[in-house]
Amino acid sequence: MSEQGYDPRTGKPVGEPVESTSDSGVDAVASAAAAAFEAWSARSAAERAAVLEQVADALDAESELLVATADGETALGVPRLTTELKRTTDQLRLFGEVLREGSFAEATIDSPNPDTVPPRPDLRRVLRPLGTVAVFSASNFPFAFSVAGGDTASALAAGCPVVVKAHPSHPGTSRETGRVVTAALRAAGAPEGLFGVVHGTEAGVALVRHPAVRAVGFTGSTAGGRALFDLANSRPDPIPFYGELGSVNPTVVLPGAAAHTPDEVATGFAGSLVLGVGQFCTSPGLLFAPASLLEPLAAAVSGAAGGPMLNERMSGAYRSGVDELAASGLVTPAATGSKPEGGYGVEPRLFSVPIGVFAENTEKLTEEHFGPAAIVVTYTEVDELLAVLPTLPGSLTATVHSSPGEHAVAGRVAEVLRHVAGRLIFNGWPTGVAVAWGTHHGGPWPSTTNPLHTSVGATSIRRWLAPVTYQSWPEDLLPAELRDANPLGVPRRRDGVLGTA
């Protein structure tokens, strides 16, 4: 069997098909990765940083080919893909900074104290890499969440080998990106087998089951992620599964913001909704607003254009999902935008529902419709809003739009929403996730399988590390981060005090 790329603008095949990986092929790649683990994890943080930066340079050097290939398979456009590839290489460089800074290791030292009860021995704790990580590429980000994306970058930075399961929507892009990364790692002197790519649905299942794999990173649908999550936990030796799944990303517009800046809010919402044809994990699919805002929202969405979705299955699922929603009798169609002819093109859709009806049908009306569709929930009193918000499913983001005089109310809303989402946005829009130290891209189920962790930003490295405590070991046998002299100069906590001592 093989995976064939298709041009979403036309629905026609593009590029050469890529052969699916057999079970024996998965075994060979995963075993080679496991064999590379000892040598790679023994490299110093600074050495791993230099390798990641060489990979970033290699990807930048082949940007023209990579972007053209991805555009043919995703129709996301050269400007968007050029920016996304730059984000991808910046992620690799960020982890170079993370490695050199050193606090990711969470080095901790407790000096012996015979006077405590029980007596305390010399205890030194540090985070160490888990082993081979399986990474599942996302459909909607062929670079930043795929072969060389954030999961791969953070796992390699942690000292873990990586095996990527390529996404079938962009097999050619995955093959070319994998070629560049493999060549760059080899040129940088990384261990052979440190990185590999497999193709095909069955290859993904075999990868999660493989005994050499010690953790999994996934970005995709709730159904697919849940199936793999269950598989990872049903192994004889269950392993961590970090999945980013579905998210409706609620937005609350308070009465003052609706009254004072209606056109600004409506235009911003429509722009965020249709960005990337709504194929962002942070697309604002649910908006709570006074009824007075419905008219400008509808006008903005009516004037917005859709586009081709990433593949035929997604396009079909979007159409059937919004048609079913429209026929449910629960919502009122509010606006329909335009769409291109042919291929996998879809149009933006906007629906409305009173908050009372929404409250009685929350489960049905909070299903994610991946694409440029949203529901406006109209409310009158803030108190009825505060009663409904805690019932929302977990999301990656939640947003509040407030006028200057409503900050007290905005704070009350935020206090509720912090239990629902991992990132709270004020007077902005959720699409676009900064790659930074302070980023948290996670949230309660079903947005992720573990709300403690992020798949974007510096702390995403924490997923691929586990603590080890060294009790009463001699200095020369300790990891460098735990030696008294602190030869790496990393931040660490000694006897409860954070510093570099």
d(CA 331, CA 336): 14
Q: Strand, helix or coil at 159?
A: coil
Query: Is 363 assigned a catalytic role?
Result: no
* Pair type for strands 332-336 and 349-354: antiparallel
Assess contact for 342 and 9: CB atoms under 8 A. Answer: yes
Q: Strand, helix or coil at 352?
A: strand
- Write the CB contacts of 196 (distance below 8 Å, at least 6 apart in sequence): 29, 30, 32, 33, 162, 163, 164, 178, 182
Assess contact for 300 and 332: CB atoms under 8 A. Answer: no
Q: State which amino acid sits at residue 93.
A: R
171, 151, 169: which is closest to 160 by C-alpha? 151
Alpha helices in 44-77 (DSSP H): 45-61, 63-74
What is the edge-to-edge ordering of all strands in the sheet holding 286-290? 332-336, 349-354, 373-379, 286-290, 250-253, 395-401, 421-426
Strand partners, 45: none
Cα–chain center distance at 59: 20
Query: Is 38 assigned a catalytic role?
Result: no
H/E stretch holding 377 reads: strand 373-379
Q: Using the structure block, give the residue that is written with the tokens 């829009």.
A: 429
Q: Which of 3, 176, 281, 368 is catalytic?
A: 281
Assess contact for 197 and 204: CB atoms under 8 A. Answer: no
Q: With the C-alpha atoms ordered 151, 142, 171, 315, is the resulting torsion angle positive or negative?
A: positive
Strand partners, 195: 162
d(CA 309, CA 292): 32
- How is residue 140 written in tokens? 């909607």
Helix axes 63-74, 78-101, angle to 10 degrees: 120
DSSP letters spanning 114-153: TTSSSPB--EEEEEEE-SEEEEEPPSS-TTTTSTTSHHHH
Helices (H) and strands (E) in the chain — how many of each?
A: 16, 21
Q: Which of 3, 244, 347, 481 is catalytic?
A: 244
Q: Mind telling me the catalytic residues? A: 244, 281
